[in-house]
Chains A and B, each alone.
Chain A
Amino acid sequence: MKKVHIKKIKTLSKVGSKPIGLACAPSGDPDVPPRKG
């Protein structure tokens, strides 16, 4: 049998679940710069 060399991981959106974690991550938005100190 041929060996599977690449096994892709399904993203959450593809398996249709709801995201786990924070409902709001205010500075996780790319428009908002991360704080650097």
Chain B
Amino acid sequence: MQLRRFKDIVAIKSDTGVILNDTITAFHASNLEVAEISEESFQEMTEISLLSGEIPSSRDTVDEEARLALSNWDEEQNSAAKSGKFEFGVRSITLNVNQICNLKCVYCAAGGDGTYGSPANQISIEKTLPQLKMLLSELKEGMKFSLTFVGGEPLIHPEAVKAIYEYVTEKCLKVLALPNFTIVTNGTLIDEKTSNILKSMKINILISLDAVKEINDVVRPSKNNESSTDMTLNGLAKLSKDRGEILSIGIASVCSIDNVDLVKNYRFFKTLNPDWLEFNFSYSERSQELNKKYIEQMKLIAEIAWKSGGEAELRKIKDFNHYFKLLDSQQKVENHCGAGKSYFVIDAKNKLYTCPWVVGQKEEVVGDEDSIKIESLKNYSKPLIELNNCQTCWARYLCGGGCMYINKAHSGSKHTKSISFCERTRSLIVLALMYYKLARS
């Protein structure tokens, strides 16, 4: 694959795989426009790599007409491309139902055992409902609000999930806001009772499952030494039969040094017939080699998905669906996530944070059951693209400036970019752009 850039336009020429064809995909970064460009125009552009977010110096003009076409497009402004800036306002909350887990996944970002370094049993409902009332006080008619239940393992306490779900549903209904619920679970505790509770809610269920059994049992071992894969598959089977109100069932996997065969995993996941899939990359992983392998395999997975079911199948993979949605709706993203602006986390002790991965870090607390410490949020107010110095990157309005937590884990600073994250994200966006052109041409 060759990647070239001219000012705010990037172009991709594929030389292998299903997207091998004579046409070249180009993308106008600030206009969110995808185009097919001529070979002559491609030749006017400067070669870049996935590692670079800088605008390269221009080449000498060879074909004046092709260069002029590029320049004219670069200078155009697309009024349909919507700004991704937004004002402060709580629109999304992740809630730690507890901070205990029956698994001890090798890469666990929650303190290695789901406790974030400080185990906590079920969150206090008495404190949580008033806290949610306070956080949701600005919700108005037509506004979307997302609540995600996590742990530890949230299904250790399914009744707490149901009680909070009912409260938030009622709160939203009262002001005609639109709630959306998700639970992230390892699926190992889904018995008849838990399954019935889940089926009684309009909720998306995201099952954490990394790989085929021989790998999954190694990277996601249970504390009682039973096969966590068997337990998860039993849970999934219970859910899949007569799904009740359940909105969707997804599978989220984590690529790590111990789990590298993503294509094999993808084929395995497909046999479980999920509605959607996530292929995440371990936050702490530093191997450049693994990063390259992830990129190569996501290319193969996209190809398998496209060949087996075109756009619908490709869009079952979360990242591709996300980029297609942004391109279709012409919606720029200026914040990779809403941390500290629209998104907050309540831990099992009712402390408030801006990100699930800083739970337990005293210096990251931004509130409690009574209030949000507004002054502690002033550092989050600018768009992440600006805070993370992504203004020249061609992928900025689809990426939104990257993840502060990954940056911190890799560079020690929230705003110093993790280059491997940038490379990975750009590679997924390149794939999305090529398939988008294929799907819409």
Name A residues whose Cβ lies closer than 8 Å to a Cβ of B.
2-13, 15, 19-37
Contact = CB atoms under 8 A, between A and B. Distances in A.
B330 A25 contact: no
Given A13-B329, A32-B92, A3 B356 contact: no
27 contacts: A3-B40, A5-B38, A5-B41, A11-B34, A11-B440, A13-B328, A19-B325, A20-B312, A21-B311, A22-B275, A25-B318, A25-B322, A26-B146, A26-B206, A27-B182, A29-B92, A30-B333, A31-B146, A31-B342, A32-B146, A34-B278, A35-B278, A36-B109, A36-B280, A36-B283, A37-B254, A37-B256
Nearest to B41: A5
Given A5-B69, A6-B73, A34-B337, A13 B343 contact: no
Contact of A19 (B34, B182, B276, B328): B328
Chain B's interface size range is 35 or more
A6 B315 contact: no
Contact of A6 (B37, B180, B338, B342): B37
B252 A5 contact: no
Interface in B34-92: 34-38, 40-41, 65-66, 69-70, 73, 84, 91-92
A37 B247 contact: no
Nearest to A30: B333
A3 B247 CA distance: 49
B316 interface: yes
A3 B436 CA distance: 24
A10 to B, nearest CB: 6
Interface string B259-297: 000000000000000011010111111000000000000
Interface stretch (B119-127, B155-163, B400-408): B400-408
A25 B281 contact: no
Q: Which 3 A-B pairs have the closest CB atoms?
A: A21-B315, A33-B337, A5-B69
Interface of B: 26, 33-38, 40-41, 65-66, 69-70, 73, 84, 91-92, 94, 107, 109, 144, 146, 148, 180, 182, 184, 204, 206, 247-248, 250, 252, 254-256, 275-276, 278, 280-285, 311-312, 315-316, 318-319, 321-322, 324-325, 327-330, 333, 335-339, 342-343, 355-357, 400, 403, 405-406, 436-437, 440-441
Contacts of A10: 440
Contact of A5 (B40, B311, B312): B40
Main secondary structure of the interface of B (DSSP, over half): mixed
Contacts of B26: 6
Nearest to A12: B328
A37 B312 contact: no
A37 B343 contact: no
A32 B356 CA distance: 11
Most buried by B among A7, A9, A29, A37: A37
Contact of A22 (B316, B329, B338): B316
Contact of B38 (A4, A9, A15, A23): A4
A6 B337 CA distance: 33
Most buried by B among A5, A10, A27, A32: A5
Nearest to B441: A9
A8 B84 CA distance: 22
A22 B248 contact: yes
A36 B254 CA distance: 7
A6 B35 contact: yes
Nearest to B436: A9
B226 to A, nearest CB: 23
B34 A8 contact: yes
A12 B182 CA distance: 27
A34 B65 CA distance: 43
Contacts of B254: 37
A9 B343 contact: no
B325 A28 contact: yes
Contacts of A23: 247-248
A26 B254 CA distance: 18
A19 B276 CA distance: 16
A36 B278 CA distance: 10
Given A31-B342, A36-B280, A37-B109, A9 B437 contact: yes
A21 B316 contact: yes
Given A21-B321, A37-B280, A32 B148 contact: yes
B135 to A, nearest CB: 14
